[in-house]
């Protein structure tokens, strides 16, 4: 990877304990490796606050999002007030990651949908884009998004079909892809990718998860995004450098983070 690349990782979790041993040392290498921007995403109130602190520590590299993830425990009754207070930070450029996740047994569908709706309303109130998570819940997610469309934001780690992608785009959302598109069984996301205009694509790691081939199974970080970008570039008929530049510009536009572009 070279410093003349312009890579904006639109979805990271650098507050995760997986980075505790070497977080600062790793992040300091990013500029020389072409990583110009990272969105670090909240998943509950304490982690959202930690995202802000990390973005404050690296103002030339990071912006933050605050939110409550659907897999997290039920937040306190005043969580929306706390999120609004957190969102007042200059480092906060989105509400997220929020959404629906019906993957594991024992999930509470009504509770997840209520918390998603509440956070979508907050994002509208604050005029902030949303970072959306959806796993095994496409029907319910699309139904709720229709209630709130048009929307500014991104459907991260896009799980759906080309048909669903078209509706997501019509709502005003961007679509993000992770290292999943490098996997051998990536037929469905690749079909969706081919249907999406380049100016609505984002590239992301979801690190420390979702490491692309050939790093699959290892701790993921933003320096691995060139592998994902190469697959995206192949499908779009452009160079890896062009995909990195296009998706960086898209992320900067969506999150109002032009200061992170070279």
The answer to whether position 2 is within a domain reads no
Query: Structure tokens of 74?
Result: 């039920």
In the chain, % of residues over pLDDT 90: 96
**CA-to-CA distance for 122 and 118, rounded, in angstroms?**
6
Is 1 within a domain? no
First CA to last CA distance, the chain: 16
The answer to whether residue 69 is domain-embedded is: yes
Looking at the structure of the chain, the number of domains it has is 1
Residue 157 in tokens: 């780690």
Within a domain: 162: yes
For residue 227, the domain's CATH number is 3.20.20.140
In a domain, 182, yes or no: yes
Task: Answer yes or no: is 180 within a domain.
Answer: yes
The pLDDT of residue 3 is 52
Quickly state the pLDDT bin for 114 (edges 50, 70, 90): very high
Distance CA 171, CA 25 (A): 40
Q: Containing domain of residue 92, as a range? A: 7-260
Q: What is the pLDDT of residues 125-157, one digit of tens each?
A: 999 999 999 999 999 999 999 999 999 999 999
Residue 1 — very low, low, confident or very high, per pLDDT cuts 50/70/90?
very low
For residue 49, being part of any structural domain is answered with yes
Query: Residue 160: what pLDDT?
Result: 87
pLDDT score, position 4: 78
* Tokens of residue 111, six digits: 């509770």
């Amino acid at each position: 990877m070279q410093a003349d690349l312009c890579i904006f990782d639109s979805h990271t979790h650098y507050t995760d304990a997986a980075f505790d041993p070497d977080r600062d040392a790793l992040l300091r290498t990013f500029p020389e490796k072409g990583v110009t921007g990272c969105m670090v995403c909240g998943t509950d109130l304490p982690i959202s606050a930690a995202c802000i602190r990390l973005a404050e520590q690296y103002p030339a590299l990071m912006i933050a999002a605050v939110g409550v993830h659907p897999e997290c425990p039920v937040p306190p009754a005043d969580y929306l007030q706390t999120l609004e207070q957190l969102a007042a930070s200059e480092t906060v450029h989105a509400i997220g990651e929020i959404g629906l996740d019906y993957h594991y047994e024992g999930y509470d569908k009504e509770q997840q949908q209520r918390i998603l709706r509440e956070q979508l309303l907050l994002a509208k109130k604050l005029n902030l884009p949303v970072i959306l998570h959806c796993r095994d819940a496409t029907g319910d997610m699309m139904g709720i998004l229709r209630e709130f469309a048009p929307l500014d934001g991104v459907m991260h780690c896009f799980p759906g079909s080309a048909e669903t992608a078209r509706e997501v785009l019509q709502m005003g959302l961007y679509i993000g892809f992770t290292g999943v598109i490098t996997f051998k069984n990536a037929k469905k996301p690749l079909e969706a990718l081919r249907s999406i205009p380049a100016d609505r694509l984002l590239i992301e790691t979801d690190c420390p998860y979702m490491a692309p081939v050939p790093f699959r199974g290892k701790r993921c970080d933003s320096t691995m995004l060139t592998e994902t970008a190469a697959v995206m570039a192949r499908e779009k008929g452009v160079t890896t450098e062009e995909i990195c530049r296009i998706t960086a510009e898209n992320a900067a536009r969506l999150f109002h983070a032009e200061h992170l572009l070279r």
